[in-house]
Amino acid sequence: MNRKLQNALIGITTYGRKDASPFSLPSTYIDAVRAAGGTPILLPPGETDPARLLEPLDGLIISGGGDIHPLHYNGCDHPSIYSVDSDRDTFELQLAQLALEYHLPVLGICRGLQILIVASGGTLIPHLPEVYGTSVLHRLDPAPGRRLSTEHMVKISPDSRLADCVKNTHISVVSWHHQAVHQVPPGWRVVAHALEDEVIEAVEHEHHPWAIGVQWHPELSANDPNHQRIFQAFIQATYTKQRLLIA
């Protein structure tokens, strides 16, 4: 490809739609990408040729959202599982596999981390309180059907790419999940845990140039330099990819 170095084109997966409702994505994802120097391109589920979508992109963010259907990781159904979207599952799992195969820089956020793990053959814990208890709340459930974010501390492995990104090994995160990684597939390593209950909070690929998944929501901490640096490092990795293409 013959082109000048330019603002990175970053694909961001969106929520699905129900009936006639629109595809959607919280604006915080878009704001975070723009603040880091990227140009966001929204990727709604349902496209039949994901490989073609990735061709013009410099990087991919797999966003948060509802739960992945347990069938994708040989899991069991659970009453807490919500907002399953088969079109979105299929679309994002294909995108994740292709991004890993093409060595496209990829950042998985919350559900996005789980998509990366499931796409690689890993498994998930269906409902954290049944395994880890409630000493640390990873999501608030004040009423049936109502879910809110919360905050807790995460410890990051000092020898990880993620630690290099945030320039820190202990950070406060905004959390909004009730599931997490159970079995880590080959090629991935765990690089962060919740400080108090040891829930897996981040993973990174051992061979891919830049593939990181975080279980929290860095886009909800726009004013925190620790979280800004994740997006900045991600965008920097896409420029490295551009330079290779130009060369």
Q: Which residues are tagged catalytic?
A: 110, 217, 219
Q: What's the rounded Cα separation, in Å, for the pair 60 and 105?
A: 6
Q: Mark residue 133 as left, alpha or beta (left: phi above 0; alpha: psi -120 to 50; beta: remaining).
A: left
Tokens standing for residue 54: 């990735």
Q: Which amino acid is at 40?
A: P
Name which of 28, 65, 62, 96 is nearest 177 in CA terms.
65
Contact residues for 30 (Cβ-Cβ < 8 A; gap 6+): 12, 40
Q: What's the rounded Cα separation, in Å, for the pair 65 and 46?
A: 16
Name which of 214, 217, 225, 221 is nearest 192 in CA terms.
214
Q: What's the full length of the chain, in residues? A: 247
Q: What are phi and psi of 157, to 5 degrees?
A: -60, 125
